[in-house]
Amino acid sequence: MDIFTLRTWLIFYLISFATLLWAIFLTSTGVMLGISLLLVSMVVGANFTVVFMDIRRHYRRIDIMRRLHRDPVEQVPLGAGK
């Protein structure tokens, strides 16, 4: 994992954490229960989507690397080796 990807994940999860804290504050005061539930569902949905897409991208990279590094089958002519 390179440093750019790590920074992106860190910023993403910090924003998610701040959103969840804001939703908890709204829920504890009892003012905007609907808005806080909407915020929580958006954060959970966004986290699920991002992690799912990252897992898919990782498996695609593995598949591409396997296809690129696969040794071609040697074709030996029929009369060779006698």
Distance in angstroms (rounded) separating the CA atoms of residues 14 and 54: 18
User: Is 78 inside any structural domain?
Assistant: no
Give tens-digit pLDDT for 51-65. 888 888 888 988 888
- Give this prediction's pTM: 0.61
Give tens-digit pLDDT for 12-70. 888 889 988 988 888 888 778 888 888 888 888 988 888 888 888 888 988 888 887 77
Q: Is 23 exposed, middle or buried (0-12, 13-18, 19+ CB in 10 A)?
A: buried
Distance in angstroms (rounded) separating the CA atoms of residues 77 and 50: 51
**Boundaries of domain holding 35:** 3-66
> Could you give the number of structural domains in the chain?
1
User: Is 79 inside any structural domain?
Assistant: no
User: Is 75 inside any structural domain?
Assistant: no
